[in-house]
């Protein structure tokens, strides 16, 4: 990589400023200024690094995954780096040529990830002293025992068909304890506590009342099922982590090293920076793209928000709204194809459908979500009289594409491989990583040398730790649900509680997903909700793919739903706003996202499944219009401020227009026309009846 001075000299000739083309020195004010950003100057690399470090420190308060050891003994750091690089290379190679049986491969994935967790993450935030290294090294070495034991006794474990020895139980117990402790360190307390509750549920099922009662199992049976089967810790969740997820996280690390995140930011600035509320729209677009690739909402808030949140504050948005924009956009990236933060691959694996089916079905709802965000951002800016960034402080689209546009080629290559090549997803991901390195070589400013390549491999493995450990911990929950039949019981209970009415079943399922998803990373949240909540919808005839998308949305939105809105709280740590207020603002901003899943349950044509082109186009256009109207109701502004009693009227009209019933469509259209007519008359009286007032 070039130094900052070399980078400036390299880019000066093309008229594209280095990182400063988007990274601007910003003030920290929270009240609208003149919105004149002409005084802003490009940040140096050192200033940018300091700003990102501040964002990391602020987010670490809410994101356990950011709390790594600060100081490393050099020889030990080299060992950790070497292990991380080896893990990345191993997974890339096995995507092309599998080396081990499935169970052994998954156990190796878990063991090495646990090893790194205990070496990198301290047991508590303050446990940084060298003395803590001793127990952590012991735990790290113990993490390798389950894989070595399974590897050495693989045939016996497979052939014994449920008959287990005391040593099997001991190794299984060790693995469960290690997974729970690692999950506590990386993800916080929520997930391991949930797993322990399910273990207790499995052990004491006979003593539980009514709905929760089952035959109960002794610890030996549970420990064996957790360890020696593919319905426990080594279930589908960890199987996807050991294949698709880690490869796409490594791919994202290579994109980051090549400067893809800078390109997204700069391109978004060039396109939307001048418009009203431009920085907020930049945050939405850039965070959406990056969130789809890296699948980590909080990490995305930190990396993108370190730049976008101060810029939003500078043009006049409040701290609370700036944090809400960044968190809702970052969370939404995981519903955005083609990668969906790797959730698309898990969903395809779980449902047994082609990946392309999931990706295509998710496109329109994701676009509607982002249309709603941008519409609310625009209306808020119009109401507050905010402007964008002056043109002289923005890069030109052609300059950005000239400097970094070639970095889009790996994404295009990935789309080709996934949709048209006929090759496996694993092979496609591995080849795309290679293509990313080669494409980055095309320009000096994006070129990766050996150090950057090794750093990308290490970063990819480190970024995968949280997901891998969370998936292993979720395997404990899935194992108990599977052996006890709790998923079917819960589904029946939800259906009974709702009286068999689809709408109320959807509401209760939504609540269950929001509760189950509290404090969990998005992928484990989806796995938990898909296991326990989705069956309630399929019992009432909802298509499995539709049901899984429904629970995925709400498990994901738990990250921005108070009282435990971790993504919003992390954004508040950067913006300086109040965490709970930011969470509530995020909830309001994402309101349309809470409506969209109901829309595609009642109108599956929105997912473009088995519909003609004309029918699909009609559904999409009407949905976009309705979502724009709903955003208008949420923000309460159209040319002029909207009276409070008109907002529910236009909201009801918008929702009715989303119904497939023609009568409801006409009633909804009438309500919308009535409200818009009132707004036009008010705008005329206020002298604001013009296109520029919208």
Contacts of 132 (CB under 8 A, 6+ apart): 122, 123
Residue-wise pLDDT tens digits, 282-326: 888 888 888 787 777 777 788 778 888 888 888 888 999 999 999
Percent of the chain with pLDDT over 90: 36
Cα dihedral across residues 386, 392, 397, 403: positive or negative = negative
Q: How confident is the model at residue 43 (pLDDT cuts 50, 70, 90)?
A: low
Give the span between the Cα atoms of 143 and 165, in whole angstroms.
20
Give the span between the Cα atoms of 444 and 456, in whole angstroms.
17
Q: Which of the 8 DSSP states describes residue 641?
A: E
Q: What pLDDT is recorded for position 687?
A: 86
Q: What pLDDT is recorded for position 377?
A: 92
Give the span between the Cα atoms of 204 and 208, in whole angstroms.
7
Is the model's pLDDT at 7 over the cut of 60?
no
Give CA separation, 411 vs 182, 260, 379, 415, 490, in Å: 33, 10, 32, 6, 41
The tokens 């990706």 sit on which residue?
359
Q: What pLDDT is recorded for position 10?
A: 36
Question: How confident is the prediction for the chain on average, in pLDDT?
Answer: 84
Cα dihedral across residues 637, 639, 640, 646: positive or negative = negative
Give the span between the Cα atoms of 653 and 664, in whole angstroms.
9
Q: Which of the 8 DSSP states describes residue 241?
A: I
Q: What is the mean pLDDT of residues 567-588?
A: 90
The tokens 């156990």 sit on which residue?
107
pTM reported for the whole predicted model: 0.83
The angle formed by the CA atoms of residues 152, 111 and 96, to the nearest 5 degrees, is 85
Is the model's pLDDT at 543 over the cut of 90?
yes
The candidate with the shortest Cα–Cα distance to 27, out of 576, 488, 509, is: 576
Q: How many residues does the chain have?
A: 694
Give the span between the Cα atoms of 144 and 153, in whole angstroms.
14
End-to-end, the C-alpha distance of the chain in Å comes to 45
Contacts of 412 (CB under 8 A, 6+ apart): none
Give the span between the Cα atoms of 300 and 290, in whole angstroms.
7
Give CA separation, 229 vs 109, 175, 215, 349, in Å: 15, 13, 20, 18
Q: How confident is the model at residue 395 (pLDDT cuts 50, 70, 90)?
A: confident
Residue-wise pLDDT tens digits, 142-166: 999 999 998 888 888 777 766 778 8
| Lowest pLDDT segment from 61-70, 147-156, 588-597, 663-672 | 61-70
Strands 637-638 and 640-641, how do they pair? Answer: antiparallel
Q: What are the start-end ranges of the H helices in 485-557?
A: 486-497, 502-516, 522-532, 534-538, 544-557
Q: What is the mean pLDDT of residues 232-254?
A: 89
Q: What pLDDT is recorded for position 45?
A: 57
| Lowest pLDDT segment from 43-57, 89-103, 488-502, 577-591 | 43-57
Helices and strands (DSSP H and E) totals, the chain? 33, 2
Please give the residue that has the higher pLDDT: either 138 or 614. Answer: 138
Contacts of 81 (CB under 8 A, 6+ apart): 454, 458
Give the span between the Cα atoms of 8 and 44, in whole angstroms.
10
Q: What is the mean pLDDT of residues 643-648?
A: 92
Taking a C-beta distance cutoff of 8 angstroms, is the pair 237, 478 a contact?
yes
Q: What pLDDT is recorded for position 418?
A: 86
Per-residue DSSP letters for 408-468? GHHHHHHHHHHHTS---HHHHHHHHHHHHHHHHTTSTTT---HHHHHHHHHHHHHHHHHHH
The candidate with the shortest Cα–Cα distance to 179, out of 198, 195, 202, is: 195
Q: What pLDDT is recorded for position 20?
A: 35
Residue-wise pLDDT tens digits, 109-127: 999 999 999 999 988 877 6
The tokens 């750091």 sit on which residue?
77
Give the span between the Cα atoms of 692 and 198, in whole angstroms.
57
Cα Rg for the chain, rounded, in angstroms? 26
């Amino acid at each position: 990589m070039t130094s900052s001075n070399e980078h400036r000299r390299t880019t000066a000739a093309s008229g594209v400023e280095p990182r400063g083309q988007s990274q601007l020195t910003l003030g920290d004010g929270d009240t609208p200024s003149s919105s004149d950003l002409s005084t802003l100057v490009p940040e140096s690399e050192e200033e940018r690094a300091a700003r990102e470090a501040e964002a990391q420190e602020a987010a670490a308060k809410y994101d356990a995954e950011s709390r790594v050891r600060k100081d490393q003994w050099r020889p030990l750091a080299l060992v950790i780096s070497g292990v991380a690089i080896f893990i990345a290379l191993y997974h890339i190679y096995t995507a092309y040529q599998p080396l081990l049986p499935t169970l052994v491969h998954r156990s190796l994935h878990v063991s090495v990830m646990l090893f790194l967790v205990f070496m990198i993450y301290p047991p508590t935030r303050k446990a940084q002293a060298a003395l803590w290294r001793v127990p952590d090294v012991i735990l790290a070495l113990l993490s390798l025992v389950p894989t070595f034991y399974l590897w050495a006794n693989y045939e016996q474990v497979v052939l014994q068909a449920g008959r287990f020895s005391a040593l099997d139980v001991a190794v299984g117990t060790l693995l469960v304890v290690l997974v729970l402790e690692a999950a506590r360190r990386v993800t916080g307390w929520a997930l391991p506590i949930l797993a322990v509750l399910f273990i207790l549920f499995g052990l004491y099922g006979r003593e539980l009342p009514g709905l929760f009662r089952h035959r109960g199992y002794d610890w030996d049976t549970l420990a064996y099922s957790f360890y020696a089967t593919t319905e426990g810790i080594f279930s589908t969740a960890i199987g996807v982590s050991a294949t698709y997820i880690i490869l796409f996280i490594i791919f994202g690390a290579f994109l980051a090293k090549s400067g893809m995140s800078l390109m997204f930011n700069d391109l978004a600035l060039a396109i939307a920076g001048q418009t009203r509320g431009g920085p907020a729209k930049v945050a939405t677009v850039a965070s959406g793209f990056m969130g789809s690739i890296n699948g980590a909402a909080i990490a995305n808030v930190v990396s993108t928000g370190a730049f976008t949140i101060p810029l939003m504050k500078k043009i006049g948005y409040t701290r609370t709204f700036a944090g809400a924009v960044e968190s809702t956009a970052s969370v939404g990236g995981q519903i955005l194809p083609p990668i969906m933060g790797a959730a698309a691959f898990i969903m395809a694996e779980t449902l047994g459908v082609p990946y392309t089916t999931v990706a295509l079905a998710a496109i329109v709802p994701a676009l509607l979500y982002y249309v709603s965000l941008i519409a609310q951002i625009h209306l808020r800016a119009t109401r507050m009289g905010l402007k964008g960034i002056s043109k002289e402080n923005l890069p030109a689209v052609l300059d950005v594409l000239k400097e970094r546009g070639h970095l889009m080629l790996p994404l295009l290559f990935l789309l080709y491989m996934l949709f048209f090549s006929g090759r496996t997803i694993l092979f496609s991901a591995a080849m795309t990583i290679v293509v990313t390195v080669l494409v980055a070589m095309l320009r000096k400013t994006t070129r990766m040398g050996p150090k950057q390549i090794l750093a990308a491999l290490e970063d990819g493995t480190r970024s995968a730790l949280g997901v891998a450990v969370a998936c292993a911990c979720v395997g404990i929950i899935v194992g108990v649900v599977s052996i006890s039949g709790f998923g079917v019981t819960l589904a029946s209970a939800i259906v009974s509680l709702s009286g068999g009415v689809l709408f109320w079943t959807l509401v209760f399922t939504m609540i269950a997903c929001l509760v189950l998803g509290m404090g969990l990373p998005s992928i484990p949240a989806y796995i938990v909700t898909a296991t326990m909540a989705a069956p309630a919808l399929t019992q009432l005839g909802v298509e499995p793919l539709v049901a899984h998308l429904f629970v995925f949305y709400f498990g994901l939105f738990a990250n921005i739903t108070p009282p435990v809105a971790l993504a919003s709280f992390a954004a508040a740590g950067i913006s300086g706003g109040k965490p709970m207020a930011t969470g509530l603002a995020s909830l309001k901003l994402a309101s349309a996202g809470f409506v969209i899943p109901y829309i595609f349950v009642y109108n599956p044509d929105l997912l473009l499944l088995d519909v003609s082109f004309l029918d699909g186009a009609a559904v999409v256009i009407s949905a976009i219009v309705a979502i724009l109207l709903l955003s208008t109701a949420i923000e309460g502004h159209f040319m002029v401020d909207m009276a409070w009693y008109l907002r529910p009227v236009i909201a009801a009209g918008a929702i009715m227009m989303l119904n497939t019933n023609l009568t409801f469509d006409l009633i909804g259209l009438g309500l919308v026309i009535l409200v818009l007519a009132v707004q036009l008359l008010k705008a005329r009286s206020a002298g604001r009846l013009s296109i520029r007032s919208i």
